Copies of this chain bind each other. A is one copy, B any other.
Amino acid sequence: MQTDRLKGNLELLLLSALTMGPAHGYGLIRRLREMSEGFFDLPEGTVYPALHRLEREGLVSSSWTDEPGRPRKSYRLTPVGERQLAVERVAWQRFGTAVGAVMRGTS
């Protein structure tokens, strides 16, 4: 069955990571890995499409850095994204509370 709990939480993770400041995709992968002490080691094929989705929805905005060297696409939170992050945080907590109640067998 191979549970993937990530489903539905990726958005929360990416938006959270961006509150520490703008970052590009590859850097976000590293940032999430560090912040979670290695727990989240997301493949690029997961993160890049997710960022594009977030941008399409207006939660993040991107800009190419015109520094020399490797091209980098920097993402930052938009005001809409910040509001959405607050919503996600509450939703996550509620979900966790409900799961906890079921696990503990109490209502």
Contact = CB atoms under 8 A, between A and B. Distances in A.
A71 interface: no
Q: Main SS of the interface on chain A?
A: helix
Interface string A78-104: 000000000011011011111101110
A107 interface: yes
Q: Oligomeric state, in number of copies?
A: 2
Interface string A4-40: 1111110111001101100000000000101111011
A46 interface: no
A69 interface: no
A9 to B, nearest CB: 6
Contact of A12 (B39, B53, B95, B103): B103
A36 B101 contact: yes
Given A3-B11, A9-B99, 16 more contacts: A1-B11, A1-B57, A3-B88, A5-B9, A7-B7, A16-B102, A16-B103, A16-B105, A35-B101, A35-B102, A35-B106, A35-B107, A36-B102, A37-B101, A40-B102, A96-B96
